[in-house]
Amino acid sequence: MEKCTNEAHHHSKHNHQLCYEHTMQTIEKLCAKRNIRLTPQRKTVIQLMLNADKAMSAYDLLDQLKEIEPQAKPPTIYRALDFLIEQGFVHKVESINCYIICPHFDDPSHISILFICDKCQSIIEEHSPIIEAQLQSLAQKNMFIIQHSVLEIHGTCQHCANQIVGQ
Amino acid sequence: MEKCTNEAHHHSKHNHQLCYEHTMQTIEKLCAKRNIRLTPQRKTVIQLMLNADKAMSAYDLLDQLKEIEPQAKPPTIYRALDFLIEQGFVHKVESINCYIICPHFDDPSHISILFICDKCQSIIEEHSPIIEAQLQSLAQKNMFIIQHSVLEIHGTCQHCANQIVGQ
DNA sequence: TGCATAACGATATATGATATTATTAATAAA
DNA sequence: TTTATTAATAATATCATATATCGTTATGCA
Ligand SMILES: [Zn+2]
Ligand SMILES: [Zn+2]
Ligand SMILES: [Zn+2]
Ligand SMILES: [Zn+2]
């Protein structure tokens, strides 16, 4: 099946339901393997994010979560997000205070480069060994020890650029 | 005179006062040239940031501004920051919601790469044509039009790394 | 069963940022 | 000089994002 990313969800017609269930199953297996608990609440948050097809703010997610669990409060969603980020299933998009499912959580060995469409909030995740090497080189020059990289590129996605031209 | 960056301020013994005045004068000249007003309030905010030697949050700056202008409120500091960012004198550090003076505001033709020390909040600014080209290449592959890039690398600076080893 | 730990619920509070409207200061035009 | 126009500042309210705290409940294990 076609690799399912936010981008694919958003702009193609592949079988979303199949892909969605496949992702959930992969996450469930990984949690079992790591001996950590994927509680119904955490699972619900993943489901909300998978269905969104775009970056979601904590309060966007909270509003949706409340429809299922009316007692949910800000700490509820932040605790779930903390867990999911810690486990590598979710990225925080720092420059817009939003959150996405990482489409490559089964291979966390790379630095993620996010291309963020400011029109539709869809996000393409890319990777580049060249950039990683170059960053390491710059770090060494300054005797800096890298712990975590935030690479977020803002602009307009193909879909939205076409819409503007087409009008 | 030695080029004055946050890093230089923080970890060397160069003449801060000289450098500080040199930076202020350069900004004043640029504003005159652009025919925009560097009001006392805006100048004060620049001074606070230059004296800080590290990334400052809006409310850190507001607290200090209040000591000089007691009537200052949140919009006061955000208006000043908006102006300074627009003019390229200041960067927002998205991943920590803080602000720094850009040490290269006289040459805004580059994408800035920020190396942020999570121990002391000092920031080194670097640039890399290789990374810029590689990002463009990734963007083209996805038919993405880049408008603004956020490249923020977190870790430990030389100074803080030595402190840890030295203990 | 009893204990330790992790998760959850609930409230409060902190932090970050914008909207709105009013007021004042600076500049330009008449 | 008066008036018009614009830019800057002030004050308040409101929205948005995130954390602290503490008590309760669920889960896994000795
Ligand atoms: Zn990822
Ligand atoms: Zn788009
Ligand atoms: Zn800069
Ligand atoms: Zn440091």
> Which pLDDT belongs to residue B16?
63
| pLDDT band at residue A165 using 50, 70 and 90 as cut-offs | low
> Which pLDDT belongs to residue A29?
92
Report how far residue A134's alpha carbon sits from residue A142's, in angstroms, rounded to the nearest whole number.
13
Does the pLDDT at position B19 exceed 90?
no
Q: How many domains does chain A have?
A: 1
> Which pLDDT belongs to residue A101?
95
* B106 Cβ neighbours under 8 A, 6+ residues apart: B26, B30
Q: Is B128 helix (H, G, I), strand (E, B) or coil?
A: coil
Q: Which ligand is nearest to the CA of B143?
A: 2
Asked if B134 and A146 come within 8 Å (Cβ–Cβ), the reply is no
Q: Is A73 helix (H, G, I), strand (E, B) or coil?
A: coil
Pairing of strands A113-117, B113-117: unpaired
Q: Does residue B2 belong to the interface with chain A, where contact is any CB pair within 8 Å?
A: no
| DSSP conformation letters of B66-116 | HHH-TT--HHHHHHHHHHHHHTTSEEEEGGGTEEEE-TTTT---S--EEEE
Report how far residue B152's alpha carbon sits from residue B164's, in angstroms, rounded to the nearest whole number.
23
When comparing pLDDT for B130 and B88, which is higher? B130
> Which pLDDT belongs to residue A124?
95
> Which pLDDT belongs to residue B18?
65
pTM for the structure as a whole: 0.88
Q: What is the CATH number of the domain that holds A52?
A: 1.10.10.10
Q: Does residue B136 belong to the interface with chain A, where contact is any CB pair within 8 Å?
A: no
Asked if A158 and B144 come within 8 Å (Cβ–Cβ), the reply is yes
Mean pLDDT of chain A: 89
pLDDT tens column, B83-118: 999 888 999 999 999 999 988 888 877 899 999 999
Report how far residue A134's alpha carbon sits from residue B129's, in angstroms, rounded to the nearest whole number.
10
Does the pLDDT at position B41 exceed 50?
yes
**What are the E-state strand segments in chain A?**
90-93, 98-101, 113-117, 123-126, 145-156
Which amino acid does the sequence have at A56?
M
| pLDDT band at residue B15 using 50, 70 and 90 as cut-offs | low
pLDDT tens column, A42-98: 999 999 999 998 999 999 999 999 999 999 999 999 999 999 999 999 999 999 999
Which residue's C-alpha is at the least distance from the C1' of C20? B75
Through-space separation of residue B89 CA and nucleotide C30 C1' in angstroms: 39
Residue A167 DSSP class? -
pLDDT tens column, B62-78: 989 988 888 888 989 99
Joined together, the tokens standing for residue B32 give 């005159």
Which candidate, B90, B94, B61, B88, places its Cα nearest to that of B76? B61
Asked if B147 and A161 come within 8 Å (Cβ–Cβ), the reply is no
Give the distance (Å) from ligand 3 centre to CA of residue B14.
21
Mean pLDDT of chain B: 85
Q: Does residue B134 belong to the interface with chain A, where contact is any CB pair within 8 Å?
A: yes
> Which pLDDT belongs to residue B95?
93
* Residue span of the structural domain in which A12 resides: 2-166
> Which pLDDT belongs to residue A2?
41
| DSSP conformation letters of B8-72 | HHHHS-S-HHHHHHHHHHHHHHHHHHHT----HHHHHHHHHHHHH-S-B-HHHHHHHHHHH-TT-
In this predicted structure, which of A110-114, A132-136, A154-158, B37-41 has the lowest mean pLDDT?
Answer: B37-41
Q: In chain B, pLDDT over 70 holds for what percent of residues?
A: 87
A158 membership: H or E segment, kind and range: helix A158-166
> Which pLDDT belongs to residue B6?
45
Contact B129, B135 (CB under 8 A): no
In this predicted structure, which of A71-80, A124-133, B137-146, B155-164 has the lowest mean pLDDT?
Answer: B155-164
Does the pLDDT at position B12 exceed 80?
no
